[in-house]
Amino acid sequence: MYQFSGKLKTFSLALIIIGLIGTVFSFYNGSQKTIEDAKQVIAASHSSGHGESHGAAAVHAEGDGEGEHASEIEAHAADEHGDSHSEENGTKSYSSKEEHNVAGSHEAVEGHTEKHTNENQSVEEEHSVSDVQEHEEHVLHQLQNRPWSAFYVALFFSLGITLLVLAFYAIQRVAQVGWSVVILRVMEAISANLLPTSILMILLLAASVMHMNHLFPWMADGTVDPASENYDAIVDGKSWWMNSTGFMVRSILYLVAWNVYRFFIRKSSIKEDTANDGNKTYKKNFNASVIFLFIFMITESMMSWDWIMGLDPHWFSTLFGWYVLSTLLVSALTVIAFFTIYLREQGAIPGINDSHIHDLAKFMFGFSVFWTYLWFSQFMLIWYADIPEETTYFVMRFTEYKLPFLGMVVMNFVFPILLLLNSDFKSKPWFVVIGGVVILAGHYIDVFIMIMPSTVGAQWFFGIPELSALCFFIGLLIYTTLNAFSKANAIPKGNPFLKESEHFHYYNIEHTGEGSADH
Protein backbone atom coordinates (compact mmCIF):
# COMPACT_ATOMS: atom_id res chain seq x y z
CA MET A 1 0.00 0.00 0.00
CA TYR A 2 1.14 3.48 -0.83
CA GLN A 3 1.62 5.97 1.95
CA PHE A 4 0.56 9.52 1.08
CA SER A 5 3.69 11.42 2.05
CA GLY A 6 3.13 14.15 4.61
CA LYS A 7 5.21 16.62 2.64
CA LEU A 8 3.16 16.26 -0.48
CA LYS A 9 -0.06 16.41 1.49
CA THR A 10 1.02 19.71 2.98
CA PHE A 11 2.11 20.93 -0.44
CA SER A 12 -1.21 20.12 -2.08
CA LEU A 13 -3.20 21.59 0.77
CA ALA A 14 -1.04 24.71 0.59
CA LEU A 15 -1.78 24.98 -3.13
CA ILE A 16 -5.51 24.64 -2.42
CA ILE A 17 -5.41 27.32 0.27
CA ILE A 18 -3.28 29.73 -1.74
CA GLY A 19 -5.58 29.16 -4.70
CA LEU A 20 -8.65 29.78 -2.56
CA ILE A 21 -7.25 32.99 -1.11
CA GLY A 22 -6.31 34.26 -4.56
CA THR A 23 -9.71 33.31 -5.97
CA VAL A 24 -11.63 34.98 -3.16
CA PHE A 25 -9.47 38.06 -3.57
CA SER A 26 -10.09 38.23 -7.30
CA PHE A 27 -13.83 37.71 -6.87
CA TYR A 28 -13.85 40.55 -4.37
CA ASN A 29 -11.81 42.63 -6.80
CA GLY A 30 -14.15 41.77 -9.66
CA SER A 31 -17.24 42.71 -7.68
CA GLN A 32 -15.71 46.12 -6.95
CA LYS A 33 -15.51 46.97 -10.65
CA THR A 34 -17.67 49.93 -11.55
CA ILE A 35 -18.71 51.68 -14.68
CA GLU A 36 -15.80 54.07 -14.03
CA ASP A 37 -13.33 51.22 -14.54
CA ALA A 38 -15.04 50.32 -17.79
CA LYS A 39 -14.78 53.94 -18.94
CA GLN A 40 -11.08 53.94 -18.17
CA VAL A 41 -10.55 50.75 -20.14
CA ILE A 42 -12.41 52.17 -23.12
CA ALA A 43 -10.50 55.43 -22.92
CA ALA A 44 -7.25 53.50 -22.83
CA SER A 45 -8.19 51.45 -25.87
CA HIS A 46 -9.19 54.59 -27.80
CA SER A 47 -6.04 56.48 -27.04
CA SER A 48 -4.04 53.65 -28.56
CA GLY A 49 -4.67 55.15 -31.97
CA HIS A 50 -7.33 55.53 -34.60
CA GLY A 51 -6.26 52.64 -36.78
CA GLU A 52 -6.18 50.18 -33.95
CA SER A 53 -9.51 51.04 -32.45
CA HIS A 54 -11.01 50.77 -35.89
CA GLY A 55 -9.61 47.31 -36.27
CA ALA A 56 -10.98 46.42 -32.90
CA ALA A 57 -14.41 47.52 -34.07
CA ALA A 58 -14.45 44.92 -36.77
CA VAL A 59 -13.30 42.33 -34.31
CA HIS A 60 -15.93 43.09 -31.73
CA ALA A 61 -18.70 42.75 -34.25
CA GLU A 62 -19.64 39.18 -33.62
CA GLY A 63 -22.30 36.96 -35.04
CA ASP A 64 -24.68 38.63 -37.46
CA GLY A 65 -23.06 41.95 -36.56
CA GLU A 66 -20.11 41.44 -38.83
CA GLY A 67 -22.00 41.07 -42.06
CA GLU A 68 -24.02 44.18 -41.45
CA HIS A 69 -20.97 46.06 -40.42
CA ALA A 70 -19.32 45.28 -43.71
CA SER A 71 -22.34 46.34 -45.70
CA GLU A 72 -22.44 49.55 -43.74
CA ILE A 73 -18.93 50.43 -44.65
CA GLU A 74 -19.89 50.02 -48.25
CA ALA A 75 -22.94 52.17 -47.77
CA HIS A 76 -20.82 54.76 -46.11
CA ALA A 77 -18.34 54.80 -48.94
CA ALA A 78 -21.19 55.39 -51.36
CA ASP A 79 -22.46 58.25 -49.23
CA GLU A 80 -19.24 60.12 -49.39
CA HIS A 81 -19.51 60.40 -53.12
CA GLY A 82 -23.12 61.52 -53.12
CA ASP A 83 -24.47 65.06 -52.48
CA SER A 84 -25.47 66.34 -49.09
CA HIS A 85 -29.09 65.38 -49.57
CA SER A 86 -28.47 61.74 -50.25
CA GLU A 87 -25.99 61.67 -47.44
CA GLU A 88 -28.67 62.62 -45.00
CA ASN A 89 -30.92 59.95 -46.41
CA GLY A 90 -28.21 57.44 -46.05
CA THR A 91 -27.62 58.33 -42.48
CA LYS A 92 -31.28 58.01 -41.68
CA SER A 93 -31.54 54.54 -43.09
CA TYR A 94 -28.49 53.77 -41.06
CA SER A 95 -29.88 54.73 -37.74
CA SER A 96 -33.00 52.68 -38.22
CA LYS A 97 -30.79 49.75 -38.99
CA GLU A 98 -28.79 50.56 -35.94
CA GLU A 99 -31.72 50.51 -33.59
CA HIS A 100 -32.42 47.06 -34.77
CA ASN A 101 -28.89 46.07 -34.07
CA VAL A 102 -28.76 47.59 -30.64
CA ALA A 103 -31.53 45.26 -29.73
CA GLY A 104 -29.75 42.54 -31.57
CA SER A 105 -26.59 41.92 -29.67
CA HIS A 106 -24.00 43.50 -27.47
CA GLU A 107 -21.24 42.74 -29.85
CA ALA A 108 -22.88 44.43 -32.76
CA VAL A 109 -23.46 47.50 -30.65
CA GLU A 110 -19.86 47.64 -29.76
CA GLY A 111 -18.78 47.56 -33.33
CA HIS A 112 -21.10 50.39 -34.25
CA THR A 113 -20.16 52.51 -31.33
CA GLU A 114 -16.56 52.49 -32.26
CA LYS A 115 -17.39 53.23 -35.81
CA HIS A 116 -19.48 56.20 -34.82
CA THR A 117 -16.99 57.73 -32.52
CA ASN A 118 -14.56 57.53 -35.38
CA GLU A 119 -16.55 58.58 -38.37
CA ASN A 120 -20.07 59.76 -37.70
CA GLN A 121 -19.64 61.65 -34.49
CA SER A 122 -21.36 64.89 -35.41
CA VAL A 123 -24.33 63.34 -37.18
CA GLU A 124 -25.06 60.69 -34.65
CA GLU A 125 -24.30 62.57 -31.47
CA GLU A 126 -27.64 61.93 -29.87
CA HIS A 127 -27.75 58.30 -30.77
CA SER A 128 -24.23 57.42 -29.78
CA VAL A 129 -24.74 58.53 -26.19
CA SER A 130 -26.89 55.49 -25.51
CA ASP A 131 -24.53 53.39 -27.56
CA VAL A 132 -21.58 54.49 -25.48
CA GLN A 133 -23.47 53.59 -22.35
CA GLU A 134 -24.18 50.14 -23.69
CA HIS A 135 -20.55 49.77 -24.64
CA GLU A 136 -19.46 50.73 -21.16
CA GLU A 137 -21.86 48.29 -19.62
CA HIS A 138 -20.56 45.58 -21.91
CA VAL A 139 -16.96 46.22 -20.90
CA LEU A 140 -18.02 46.31 -17.26
CA HIS A 141 -19.58 42.87 -17.65
CA GLN A 142 -16.36 41.61 -19.17
CA LEU A 143 -14.36 43.00 -16.26
CA GLN A 144 -16.76 41.42 -13.78
CA ASN A 145 -16.60 38.13 -15.67
CA ARG A 146 -12.87 37.76 -15.33
CA PRO A 147 -12.63 36.00 -11.94
CA TRP A 148 -15.54 33.79 -12.95
CA SER A 149 -13.98 32.81 -16.26
CA ALA A 150 -10.56 32.31 -14.69
CA PHE A 151 -12.12 29.89 -12.25
CA TYR A 152 -14.26 28.32 -14.95
CA VAL A 153 -11.29 27.65 -17.26
CA ALA A 154 -9.34 25.84 -14.54
CA LEU A 155 -12.46 24.04 -13.31
CA PHE A 156 -13.47 22.82 -16.73
CA PHE A 157 -9.91 21.76 -17.52
CA SER A 158 -9.58 19.86 -14.26
CA LEU A 159 -13.01 18.25 -14.54
CA GLY A 160 -12.40 17.37 -18.17
CA ILE A 161 -9.02 15.79 -17.51
CA THR A 162 -10.45 13.70 -14.72
CA LEU A 163 -13.38 12.68 -16.87
CA LEU A 164 -11.15 11.64 -19.75
CA VAL A 165 -8.89 9.68 -17.40
CA LEU A 166 -12.04 7.82 -16.40
CA ALA A 167 -13.00 7.31 -20.05
CA PHE A 168 -9.51 6.09 -20.91
CA TYR A 169 -9.74 3.74 -17.97
CA ALA A 170 -13.05 2.41 -19.30
CA ILE A 171 -11.45 1.92 -22.70
CA GLN A 172 -8.66 -0.13 -21.11
CA ARG A 173 -11.26 -2.38 -19.55
CA VAL A 174 -13.41 -2.70 -22.65
CA ALA A 175 -10.46 -3.35 -24.96
CA GLN A 176 -9.05 -5.84 -22.40
CA VAL A 177 -5.74 -4.13 -22.70
CA GLY A 178 -2.78 -6.13 -21.44
CA TRP A 179 -0.08 -3.56 -20.90
CA SER A 180 -1.90 -1.03 -18.76
CA VAL A 181 -3.21 -3.24 -15.97
CA VAL A 182 -0.45 -2.19 -13.55
CA ILE A 183 -1.43 1.45 -13.94
CA LEU A 184 -5.21 0.97 -13.77
CA ARG A 185 -5.13 1.94 -10.09
CA VAL A 186 -3.37 5.19 -10.98
CA MET A 187 -6.18 6.07 -13.37
CA GLU A 188 -8.77 5.07 -10.79
CA ALA A 189 -7.08 7.29 -8.24
CA ILE A 190 -7.01 10.30 -10.57
CA SER A 191 -10.71 9.87 -11.25
CA ALA A 192 -11.31 10.53 -7.53
CA ASN A 193 -11.02 14.17 -8.52
CA LEU A 194 -14.29 13.86 -10.43
CA LEU A 195 -16.61 14.24 -7.45
CA PRO A 196 -15.26 17.52 -6.01
CA THR A 197 -14.92 19.12 -9.45
CA SER A 198 -18.44 18.00 -10.37
CA ILE A 199 -19.85 19.63 -7.26
CA LEU A 200 -17.99 22.86 -8.01
CA MET A 201 -19.23 22.69 -11.60
CA ILE A 202 -22.86 22.40 -10.50
CA LEU A 203 -22.39 25.31 -8.11
CA LEU A 204 -20.82 27.45 -10.82
CA LEU A 205 -23.48 26.64 -13.40
CA ALA A 206 -26.21 27.29 -10.84
CA ALA A 207 -24.62 30.64 -10.07
CA SER A 208 -24.66 31.46 -13.79
CA VAL A 209 -28.31 30.50 -14.11
CA MET A 210 -29.08 32.69 -11.10
CA HIS A 211 -27.47 35.66 -12.90
CA MET A 212 -24.56 35.99 -10.54
CA ASN A 213 -22.30 36.40 -13.57
CA HIS A 214 -22.48 37.13 -17.29
CA LEU A 215 -20.67 34.04 -18.57
CA PHE A 216 -23.47 32.76 -20.77
CA PRO A 217 -24.94 35.59 -22.86
CA TRP A 218 -28.11 33.65 -23.63
CA MET A 219 -28.97 33.59 -19.92
CA ALA A 220 -29.27 37.38 -19.80
CA ASP A 221 -32.69 38.81 -19.00
CA GLY A 222 -34.97 39.38 -21.95
CA THR A 223 -32.98 37.61 -24.68
CA VAL A 224 -36.06 35.59 -25.58
CA ASP A 225 -38.64 38.30 -24.90
CA PRO A 226 -39.54 40.20 -28.08
CA ALA A 227 -40.68 43.18 -26.02
CA SER A 228 -37.33 43.53 -24.32
CA GLU A 229 -34.54 45.65 -25.71
CA ASN A 230 -32.22 42.71 -24.99
CA TYR A 231 -34.23 40.55 -27.40
CA ASP A 232 -32.02 38.30 -29.50
CA ALA A 233 -33.86 36.54 -32.29
CA ILE A 234 -31.02 34.07 -32.82
CA VAL A 235 -30.93 33.01 -29.20
CA ASP A 236 -34.72 32.90 -29.20
CA GLY A 237 -34.61 30.47 -32.10
CA LYS A 238 -32.32 28.19 -30.12
CA SER A 239 -34.20 28.53 -26.84
CA TRP A 240 -35.67 25.05 -27.17
CA TRP A 241 -32.17 23.86 -26.28
CA MET A 242 -30.64 26.86 -24.58
CA ASN A 243 -32.94 27.49 -21.65
CA SER A 244 -31.95 27.54 -18.01
CA THR A 245 -34.10 24.61 -16.92
CA GLY A 246 -32.96 22.29 -19.68
CA PHE A 247 -29.38 23.44 -19.21
CA MET A 248 -29.32 22.67 -15.50
CA VAL A 249 -31.14 19.35 -15.90
CA ARG A 250 -28.75 18.22 -18.61
CA SER A 251 -25.66 19.37 -16.73
CA ILE A 252 -26.70 17.52 -13.61
CA LEU A 253 -27.52 14.42 -15.65
CA TYR A 254 -24.06 14.34 -17.26
CA LEU A 255 -22.29 14.79 -13.96
CA VAL A 256 -24.43 12.25 -12.16
CA ALA A 257 -23.94 9.67 -14.93
CA TRP A 258 -20.17 10.04 -14.83
CA ASN A 259 -19.99 9.97 -11.04
CA VAL A 260 -22.23 6.94 -10.82
CA TYR A 261 -19.88 4.98 -13.06
CA ARG A 262 -16.84 6.18 -11.17
CA PHE A 263 -18.41 5.23 -7.83
CA PHE A 264 -19.46 1.79 -9.06
CA ILE A 265 -16.25 0.91 -10.88
CA ARG A 266 -14.00 1.98 -8.04
CA LYS A 267 -15.91 -0.13 -5.54
CA SER A 268 -16.20 -3.08 -7.85
CA SER A 269 -12.58 -2.85 -8.94
CA ILE A 270 -11.41 -3.14 -5.35
CA LYS A 271 -13.81 -6.04 -4.91
CA GLU A 272 -12.15 -7.68 -7.93
CA ASP A 273 -8.89 -8.01 -5.96
CA THR A 274 -10.35 -10.52 -3.56
CA ALA A 275 -13.38 -11.72 -5.48
CA ASN A 276 -12.02 -15.09 -6.61
CA ASP A 277 -15.31 -15.86 -8.38
CA GLY A 278 -14.14 -17.01 -11.78
CA ASN A 279 -13.86 -13.45 -13.12
CA LYS A 280 -17.54 -12.71 -12.55
CA THR A 281 -16.76 -9.32 -11.03
CA TYR A 282 -14.31 -8.65 -13.80
CA LYS A 283 -16.99 -9.30 -16.42
CA LYS A 284 -19.46 -7.13 -14.57
CA ASN A 285 -16.92 -4.29 -14.65
CA PHE A 286 -16.39 -4.92 -18.33
CA ASN A 287 -20.12 -4.56 -19.01
CA ALA A 288 -20.39 -1.45 -16.88
CA SER A 289 -17.50 0.10 -18.83
CA VAL A 290 -19.14 -0.65 -22.16
CA ILE A 291 -22.33 1.08 -21.05
CA PHE A 292 -20.37 3.99 -19.62
CA LEU A 293 -18.42 4.53 -22.84
CA PHE A 294 -21.65 4.65 -24.82
CA ILE A 295 -23.17 7.19 -22.45
CA PHE A 296 -19.90 9.08 -22.20
CA MET A 297 -19.60 9.69 -25.93
CA ILE A 298 -23.08 11.20 -26.03
CA THR A 299 -22.80 13.23 -22.85
CA GLU A 300 -19.31 14.48 -23.67
CA SER A 301 -20.52 15.90 -26.96
CA MET A 302 -23.54 17.56 -25.38
CA MET A 303 -21.45 18.79 -22.49
CA SER A 304 -19.19 20.63 -24.91
CA TRP A 305 -22.19 22.31 -26.55
CA ASP A 306 -23.69 23.33 -23.24
CA TRP A 307 -20.64 24.37 -21.27
CA ILE A 308 -18.32 25.72 -23.94
CA MET A 309 -20.16 26.43 -27.17
CA GLY A 310 -23.01 27.96 -25.14
CA LEU A 311 -20.62 30.80 -24.27
CA ASP A 312 -20.94 31.90 -27.91
CA PRO A 313 -24.63 31.37 -28.59
CA HIS A 314 -24.38 32.83 -32.10
CA TRP A 315 -21.65 30.46 -33.19
CA PHE A 316 -21.69 26.76 -33.88
CA SER A 317 -19.34 24.06 -35.12
CA THR A 318 -20.10 20.40 -35.71
CA LEU A 319 -16.58 19.26 -34.88
CA PHE A 320 -16.58 20.88 -31.50
CA GLY A 321 -17.39 17.88 -29.29
CA TRP A 322 -14.53 15.87 -30.74
CA TYR A 323 -12.20 18.81 -30.52
CA VAL A 324 -12.91 19.29 -26.82
CA LEU A 325 -12.53 15.54 -26.37
CA SER A 326 -9.12 15.49 -28.01
CA THR A 327 -7.75 18.37 -25.99
CA LEU A 328 -8.91 16.77 -22.75
CA LEU A 329 -7.79 13.29 -23.78
CA VAL A 330 -4.19 14.25 -24.45
CA SER A 331 -4.08 16.19 -21.18
CA ALA A 332 -5.56 13.21 -19.36
CA LEU A 333 -2.87 10.91 -20.72
CA THR A 334 -0.20 13.38 -19.69
CA VAL A 335 -1.59 13.50 -16.17
CA ILE A 336 -1.65 9.68 -16.04
CA ALA A 337 1.98 9.63 -17.19
CA PHE A 338 2.96 12.20 -14.55
CA PHE A 339 1.40 10.30 -11.68
CA THR A 340 2.76 7.00 -12.99
CA ILE A 341 6.27 8.39 -13.20
CA TYR A 342 6.00 9.95 -9.75
CA LEU A 343 4.64 6.81 -8.11
CA ARG A 344 7.23 4.68 -9.86
CA GLU A 345 9.98 6.93 -8.54
CA GLN A 346 8.51 6.42 -5.08
CA GLY A 347 8.62 2.67 -5.63
CA ALA A 348 4.89 2.58 -4.99
CA ILE A 349 3.93 0.47 -8.00
CA PRO A 350 5.84 -2.75 -8.57
CA GLY A 351 5.87 -4.11 -12.09
CA ILE A 352 6.15 -0.82 -13.95
CA ASN A 353 8.97 -0.68 -16.44
CA ASP A 354 10.18 1.63 -19.20
CA SER A 355 7.84 0.03 -21.71
CA HIS A 356 4.80 1.29 -19.80
CA ILE A 357 6.19 4.81 -19.83
CA HIS A 358 6.98 4.35 -23.50
CA ASP A 359 3.38 3.39 -24.23
CA LEU A 360 1.99 6.34 -22.33
CA ALA A 361 4.34 8.64 -24.21
CA LYS A 362 3.21 7.11 -27.48
CA PHE A 363 -0.37 7.92 -26.55
CA MET A 364 0.62 11.47 -25.62
CA PHE A 365 2.34 11.82 -28.94
CA GLY A 366 -0.46 10.26 -30.97
CA PHE A 367 -3.24 12.24 -29.35
CA SER A 368 -1.23 15.46 -29.67
CA VAL A 369 -1.30 14.89 -33.39
CA PHE A 370 -4.98 13.96 -33.18
CA TRP A 371 -5.70 17.24 -31.38
CA THR A 372 -3.79 19.15 -34.04
CA TYR A 373 -5.74 17.39 -36.74
CA LEU A 374 -9.08 18.35 -35.21
CA TRP A 375 -7.98 21.87 -34.34
CA PHE A 376 -6.72 22.47 -37.84
CA SER A 377 -9.74 20.83 -39.48
CA GLN A 378 -12.04 23.14 -37.57
CA PHE A 379 -9.90 26.19 -38.22
CA MET A 380 -9.19 25.51 -41.88
CA LEU A 381 -12.76 24.71 -42.85
CA ILE A 382 -13.97 27.93 -41.30
CA TRP A 383 -11.06 29.97 -42.67
CA TYR A 384 -11.49 28.54 -46.15
CA ALA A 385 -15.20 29.14 -46.53
CA ASP A 386 -15.02 32.38 -44.55
CA ILE A 387 -18.75 32.55 -43.79
CA PRO A 388 -19.10 35.61 -41.54
CA GLU A 389 -21.26 33.95 -38.90
CA GLU A 390 -18.62 31.26 -38.39
CA THR A 391 -15.48 33.29 -39.02
CA THR A 392 -16.07 35.83 -36.25
CA TYR A 393 -15.09 33.12 -33.77
CA PHE A 394 -11.57 32.98 -35.15
CA VAL A 395 -11.32 36.66 -36.05
CA MET A 396 -11.79 37.47 -32.38
CA ARG A 397 -9.26 34.87 -31.31
CA PHE A 398 -6.73 35.78 -33.95
CA THR A 399 -6.73 39.51 -33.29
CA GLU A 400 -7.12 39.67 -29.52
CA TYR A 401 -5.38 36.41 -28.56
CA LYS A 402 -2.74 36.10 -31.24
CA LEU A 403 0.18 35.02 -29.08
CA PRO A 404 -1.62 32.31 -27.06
CA PHE A 405 -3.60 31.23 -30.12
CA LEU A 406 -0.51 30.59 -32.23
CA GLY A 407 1.69 29.69 -29.28
CA MET A 408 -0.59 26.85 -28.33
CA VAL A 409 -0.17 25.24 -31.75
CA VAL A 410 3.57 25.22 -31.23
CA MET A 411 3.22 23.86 -27.69
CA ASN A 412 0.63 21.24 -28.55
CA PHE A 413 1.97 20.10 -31.88
CA VAL A 414 5.47 21.14 -32.88
CA PHE A 415 7.04 20.60 -29.49
CA PRO A 416 5.61 17.14 -28.74
CA ILE A 417 6.21 15.95 -32.29
CA LEU A 418 9.89 16.83 -32.15
CA LEU A 419 10.42 15.68 -28.57
CA LEU A 420 8.42 12.46 -28.54
CA LEU A 421 9.10 11.21 -32.07
CA ASN A 422 12.21 9.34 -31.07
CA SER A 423 11.55 5.91 -29.60
CA ASP A 424 14.42 6.14 -27.11
CA PHE A 425 13.27 9.49 -25.78
CA LYS A 426 9.80 8.16 -25.09
CA SER A 427 11.07 5.73 -22.48
CA LYS A 428 13.05 8.35 -20.58
CA PRO A 429 10.86 9.68 -17.76
CA TRP A 430 12.43 13.11 -17.65
CA PHE A 431 11.85 13.57 -21.37
CA VAL A 432 8.23 12.59 -20.94
CA VAL A 433 7.92 15.04 -18.06
CA ILE A 434 9.33 17.92 -20.11
CA GLY A 435 7.04 17.10 -23.00
CA GLY A 436 4.13 16.66 -20.62
CA VAL A 437 4.56 20.02 -18.92
CA VAL A 438 4.48 21.78 -22.28
CA ILE A 439 1.50 19.72 -23.44
CA LEU A 440 -0.47 20.46 -20.28
CA ALA A 441 0.33 24.17 -20.44
CA GLY A 442 -0.60 24.21 -24.11
CA HIS A 443 -3.94 22.58 -23.52
CA TYR A 444 -4.67 24.87 -20.61
CA ILE A 445 -4.18 27.70 -23.09
CA ASP A 446 -6.45 25.87 -25.51
CA VAL A 447 -9.28 25.78 -22.95
CA PHE A 448 -8.45 29.38 -22.06
CA ILE A 449 -8.97 30.36 -25.69
CA MET A 450 -12.19 28.40 -25.91
CA ILE A 451 -13.67 30.28 -22.96
CA MET A 452 -12.03 33.65 -22.42
CA PRO A 453 -12.78 35.42 -25.72
CA SER A 454 -16.48 34.79 -25.22
CA THR A 455 -16.61 35.95 -21.63
CA VAL A 456 -14.03 38.68 -21.14
CA GLY A 457 -13.17 39.48 -24.75
CA ALA A 458 -10.25 41.83 -25.05
CA GLN A 459 -10.01 42.29 -21.26
CA TRP A 460 -7.98 39.13 -20.77
CA PHE A 461 -4.76 38.67 -18.90
CA PHE A 462 -2.99 35.84 -17.12
CA GLY A 463 -2.78 37.18 -13.60
CA ILE A 464 -3.84 36.45 -10.07
CA PRO A 465 -7.34 35.13 -10.85
CA GLU A 466 -6.10 32.63 -13.43
CA LEU A 467 -3.03 31.59 -11.48
CA SER A 468 -4.86 31.07 -8.21
CA ALA A 469 -7.64 29.06 -9.87
CA LEU A 470 -4.97 26.91 -11.45
CA CYS A 471 -3.19 26.47 -8.09
CA PHE A 472 -6.44 25.48 -6.46
CA PHE A 473 -7.27 22.78 -8.99
CA ILE A 474 -3.72 21.41 -9.21
CA GLY A 475 -3.67 21.11 -5.43
CA LEU A 476 -7.07 19.46 -5.47
CA LEU A 477 -5.99 16.99 -8.15
CA ILE A 478 -2.82 16.01 -6.30
CA TYR A 479 -4.62 15.67 -3.00
CA THR A 480 -7.59 13.63 -4.23
CA THR A 481 -5.44 11.39 -6.44
CA LEU A 482 -2.77 10.45 -3.95
CA ASN A 483 -5.31 10.20 -1.17
CA ALA A 484 -7.37 7.75 -3.24
CA PHE A 485 -4.26 5.88 -4.32
CA SER A 486 -3.25 5.26 -0.72
CA LYS A 487 -6.65 3.73 0.03
CA ALA A 488 -6.33 0.61 -2.15
CA ASN A 489 -3.86 -1.93 -3.44
CA ALA A 490 -1.40 -0.35 -5.85
CA ILE A 491 -1.90 -3.32 -8.19
CA PRO A 492 -5.28 -4.74 -9.20
CA LYS A 493 -4.49 -8.27 -8.10
CA GLY A 494 -7.65 -9.88 -9.39
CA ASN A 495 -7.27 -8.71 -12.96
CA PRO A 496 -6.76 -11.67 -15.33
CA PHE A 497 -4.33 -9.63 -17.45
CA LEU A 498 -2.06 -8.64 -14.58
CA LYS A 499 0.73 -11.09 -15.43
CA GLU A 500 0.83 -9.93 -19.02
CA SER A 501 1.09 -6.35 -17.88
CA GLU A 502 3.91 -7.07 -15.45
CA HIS A 503 5.91 -8.70 -18.22
CA PHE A 504 5.04 -6.13 -20.79
CA HIS A 505 7.99 -5.38 -22.99
CA TYR A 506 8.09 -3.23 -26.06
CA TYR A 507 10.64 -4.96 -28.24
CA ASN A 508 13.09 -2.22 -29.05
CA ILE A 509 13.30 -0.65 -25.62
CA GLU A 510 16.35 -1.31 -23.50
CA HIS A 511 15.02 -1.15 -19.97
CA THR A 512 17.07 0.63 -17.37
CA GLY A 513 19.25 -1.75 -15.40
CA GLU A 514 18.82 -4.58 -17.85
CA GLY A 515 21.37 -6.48 -19.92
CA SER A 516 21.00 -7.98 -23.36
CA ALA A 517 20.54 -11.40 -21.74
CA ASP A 518 17.12 -10.28 -20.47
CA HIS A 519 15.67 -10.10 -23.96
Partner 1 sequence: MEASKVIHAFYTDDEVLLDAVKEVKAAHHHIEEVFCPFPVHGLDKAMGLAPTRIAITAFFYGITGLAFAIWMTNYIMIEDWPMDIGGKPSFSWIENMPSFVPIIFELTVFFAAHLMVITFYMRSRIWPFKDAENPDPRTTDDHFLMEIPVNNNEEALVSLLAKTGAVEINIVDKH
Residues that bind partner 1 (CB under 8 A): 376, 379-380, 383-384, 386, 421, 423, 507-508, 516, 519
Q: Where are the beta strands (DSSP E) in 28-129?
A: none
> At a CB cut-off of 8 Å and minimum separation 6, what does 512 contact?
354
Minimum distance, C-beta of residue 206 to partner 1, in the bound complex (Å): 40
The residue among 73 and 207 lying less far from partner 1, judged by its C-beta, is 73
Count of CB atoms within 10 A of residue 36's CB?
A: 10
Minimum distance, C-beta of residue 393 to partner 1, in the bound complex (Å): 15
The CA–CA distances, whole Å, from 120 to 77, 115, 123, 365 equal: 12, 7, 6, 54
Minimum distance, C-beta of residue 396 to partner 1, in the bound complex (Å): 17
Minimum distance, C-beta of residue 423 to partner 1, in the bound complex (Å): 8
Minimum distance, C-beta of residue 515 to partner 1, in the bound complex (Å): 11
Which residue, among 146, 150, 144, 140, has the nearest Cα to 37 in the 3D structure? Answer: 140
Minimum distance, C-beta of residue 378 to partner 1, in the bound complex (Å): 11
The residue among 28 and 376 lying less far from partner 1, judged by its C-beta, is 376
The residue among 201 and 408 lying less far from partner 1, judged by its C-beta, is 408
Residue 240: burial class (beta carbons within 10 Å; 0-12, 13-18, 19+):
exposed
The residue among 452 and 509 lying less far from partner 1, judged by its C-beta, is 509
The residue among 225 and 386 lying less far from partner 1, judged by its C-beta, is 386
In the chain, the amino acid numbered 156 is F
Helices (H), 175-243: 184-190, 194-209, 233-237
Counting every residue, how long is the chain? 519
Minimum distance, C-beta of residue 399 to partner 1, in the bound complex (Å): 15
The residue among 413 and 485 lying less far from partner 1, judged by its C-beta, is 413
DSSP 487: T
Minimum distance, C-beta of residue 405 to partner 1, in the bound complex (Å): 13
The CA–CA distances, whole Å, from 462 to 18, 21, 199, 273, 401 equal: 17, 17, 25, 46, 12
498-505 contacts at long range (C-beta below 8 A, 24 or more positions apart):
498/181, 498/182, 500/178, 500/179, 500/181, 501/178, 501/179, 501/180, 501/181, 501/182, 501/351, 502/181, 502/182, 502/351, 504/178, 504/179, 504/182, 504/353, 504/355, 504/356, 504/359, 505/353, 505/355
Count of CB atoms within 10 A of residue 345's CB?
A: 9
Residue 189: burial class (beta carbons within 10 Å; 0-12, 13-18, 19+):
buried
The residue among 31 and 423 lying less far from partner 1, judged by its C-beta, is 423
Minimum distance, C-beta of residue 383 to partner 1, in the bound complex (Å): 5
The residue among 35 and 421 lying less far from partner 1, judged by its C-beta, is 421
Radius of gyration of the chain (CA): 26
The residue among 286 and 383 lying less far from partner 1, judged by its C-beta, is 383
